Amino acid sequence: MKKSFESLIKDSHEQVKNKTVENDYEIFKDKDKLDEVRSKIIENIIDDQIPHDISLDDYINKEIDKYLGGIDLSTVKRNHIFNLIENEINGLGPITELLKDKNVTEIMVNAPNEVYVEIDGKLVYDESVSFINNEHILRTIQKIVQPLGRTIDGTNPMVDARLKDGSRINAIIPPLSIKGPVLTIRKFKRDLNNIEDLLRNGTLTRDMALFLEACVKSKQNILVVGGTGSGKTTVLNILSSFIGENERIITIEDAAELKLKQSHVISLETRVDNYQSKTEVTIRDLVRNSLRMRPDRIIVGEVRGKEAFDMLQAMNTGHEGSLTTLHANSPIDSLNRLETMVLMGGLEIPVRAIRDYIENAIDIIVQVERLTDGRRKVVEISEIDGFKDDIINIVPIFKFEEKGLTREGMVDGEFKLVNKKIKTLKKIKNKGFELDFLEAHHAK
């Protein structure tokens, strides 16, 4: 534990890193003492026991002196304790600095001394961050969700919401969580704003980017699929940036994460059923309502249930160029899931008719994957091309083919154009868009 606090102090106070502090860590050998200091000061602040004739900074310093028994600490050490307390008051407790760290993409609090973070696509146990107890975690969760108009307690033990910066928060507490309160925050990536960012990251090639841009602009219906944390929403957000300024766009999400830059965007968000609002509003309700709002484009953050039929219906009835994501591990798996979701709606429709509906609705499937080295890539772009033996025919256009691992443990591979006879190319051309590099291949 000595090492973790030393690392945290050095990282948090680089301006004083040249000072000698090696003999000043004795107090942190006993972590319970630090937790006691934090806990007592925070409880007094929560109970509004701060005297009115003293500033908050002076009060914190006075309380630190009181609970440390007059131990003379260096500026570095004192600043560290002060920051811990200040983060509880003005920030979000122990995770405040993690939320500010651009390298951290996800924060997972499993228990008071069990905090994991995702850095560069890999999970890392962060021993420098801890909570005092389960009540401390619960208090932090409540502090996060209350400004969002959400509640979490014994009657509402689960919440899914978004922070102001677009980061997504999920929290679940007892009795649903046996171990104790669990908090997961998926941070909104500010550094991935356009297709050039994906190109720099090696997520796809320029030819793939040009093809997808042409697909969006020519109003092909696109399904972005992938596993958890693969980057589906990021890709969807960037694809949406190709939509023209003159189009009316309606986005539908459980927790609004899409950040479209066009001026004519209507964002709709579902509402959960709780004691404040007895009326639940689902994705399906919003998709149905959006059809009455004169949309040029409908973008659904993620299709995961009965709304699949309504989404397909919109695509089949004049709302071309719709985009959505779906949790699936392959293009064929995504169509199987769509079929299952339509059946979940209780509609008496033959399976063949459902497949006809899907085949007519979906034009392009973009598969995103997080590789074993943590990097995210568009591993396949496919098109729908009729039926083959009563099964929807999925034809790959671009593929990322893995070759193995490098000495550094990175995935070695390359992107390939695997199909030169692209059916979608004709649709793109009919809408007035040209792709010269594909036309050359197509003519061969």
pLDDT in tens, 276-300: 556 788 888 998 899 899 999 999 9
Torsions phi, psi of 342, nearest 5? Answer: -65, -40
End-to-end CA distance of the chain: 65
Q: Is 376 helix (H, G, I), strand (E, B) or coil?
A: strand
Q: Are residues 85 and 97 in the same domain?
A: no
Q: Are residues 18 and 45 in the same domain?
A: yes
Provide the pLDDT for residue 3. Answer: 38
Any idea what the CATH number is for the domain that residue 275 is in? Answer: 3.40.50.300
**Rounded distance between C-alpha atoms, residue 320 and residue 328, angstroms:** 23
Q: Pinpoint the alpha helices (H) of 241-306.
A: 283-290
Instruction: Answer with the one of 145, 167, 188 that is the final residue of a domain.
Output: 188
Number of domains in the chain: 3
Q: Are residues 144 and 214 in the same domain?
A: no
**Rounded distance between C-alpha atoms, residue 101 and residue 257, angstroms:** 19
Q: Are residues 184 and 320 in the same domain?
A: no
Query: Parallel, antiparallel, or unpaired for β 249-253 and 265-269?
Result: parallel
pTM attached to this predicted model: 0.76
Percent of the chain scored above 70 by pLDDT?
A: 82
| Domain coverage including residue 118 | 91-188
Read off the amino acid at residue 413: G
* Cα–Cα distance list, 19 to 4, 14, 16, 22, 64 (Å): 18, 10, 6, 9, 22
Q: Are residues 76 and 181 in the same domain?
A: no
Q: Are residues 154 and 302 in the same domain?
A: no
Q: Read off the pLDDT of residues 141-154 as tens digits, 9 standing for 90 and up.
A: 999 998 887 889 88
**Rounded distance between C-alpha atoms, residue 106 and residue 231, angstroms:** 12
Please report the DSSP string for 162-219 in residue order. Answer: E-TTS-EEEEE-TTTSSSS-EEEEE---TT--SHHHHHHHTSS-HHHHHHHHHHHHTT
- Which of 29-33, 60-64, 381-385, 417-421: highest mean pLDDT? 381-385
Q: Read off the pLDDT of residues 179-216 as tens digits, 9 standing for 90 and up.
A: 899 999 988 766 667 899 899 989 999 999 999 999 99
Confidence of residue 236 (pLDDT cuts 50, 70, 90): very high
Burial class (CB in 10 A: 0-12, 13-18, 19+), 73: middle
Q: Are residues 243 and 381 in the same domain?
A: yes
